[in-house]
C-alpha cells in the first residue's frame, strides 16, 4: 500500500536525491480511488522509486506550494525538483514511462 504522508514526512522526502512519486489526492475523489491501485502496482514493480500519497484537504499549504489545482495530481520529483506532473488518471504504462524517463 502506498503510504499516506504528513507534513513532516513531506519535508523529509521533498529534497530526496531519489525519484519520488507523490499522489496528491482527496478521500472524496472518485478518480483518486481509480489511480490508487495503479500506483500500488507500480510501487511493487519499481523498487528504486518511492511512492507516497498526500491528502490535499489535510495539507492545503503543501498542495498550494506544488500548484495542485485538481485531484488527483501526481508530481514526480528527482533531486528535489519537480520533473513531471499530471492531473487525472493515466494508464499504468504511461505513468511508468514518465517515471522511467526521469529515473
The CA distance from 90 to 82, in Å, is: 18
Residue 36, helix vs strand vs coil: helix
Structure confidence at residue 103 as a pLDDT band (50, 70, 90) = confident
pLDDT tens track for 61-81 = 999 999 999 999 999 999 999
**What are the residue ranges spanned by the domains of the chain?**
3-94
Residue 93's contacts (CB-CB under 8 Å, 6 or more residues apart) are none
- Grid cell in block for residue 90: 493515466
Contact 76, 99 (CB under 8 A): yes
- Catalytic annotation, pick one of 22, 32, 42, 68: 32
CA–CA separation, 74 and 101 (whole Å)? 15
Among residues 21, 29, 42, 71, the one annotated as catalytic is: 29
Question: Could you tell me the strand order of the sheet in which 3-4 lies?
Answer: 3-4, 49-55, 19-25, 73-78, 81-87
Asked about 29 being catalytic, the answer comes back as yes
CATH number for the segment(s) 3-94: 3.40.30.10
d(CA 37, CA 28): 16
Is the pTM for the entire model greater than 0.85? yes
Amino acid at each position: 500500500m502506498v503510504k499516506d504522508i504528513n507534513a513532516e514526512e513531506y519535508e523529509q522526502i521533498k529534497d530526496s536525491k531519489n525519484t519520488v512519486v507523490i499522489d496528491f489526492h482527496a478521500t472524496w475523489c472518485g478518480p483518486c480511488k481509480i489511480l490508487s491501485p495503479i500506483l500500488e502496482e507500480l510501487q511493487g514493480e519499481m523498487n528504486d522509486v518511492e511512492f507516497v500519497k498526500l491528502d490535499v484537504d489535510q495539507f492545503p499549504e503543501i498542495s498550494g506550494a506544488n500548484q495542485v489545482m485538481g485531484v488527483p495530481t501526481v508530481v514526480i520529483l528527482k533531486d528535489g525538483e519537480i520533473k513531471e506532473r499530471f492531473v487525472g488518471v493515466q494508464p499504468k504504462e504511461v505513468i511508468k514511462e514518465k517515471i522511467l524517463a526521469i529515473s
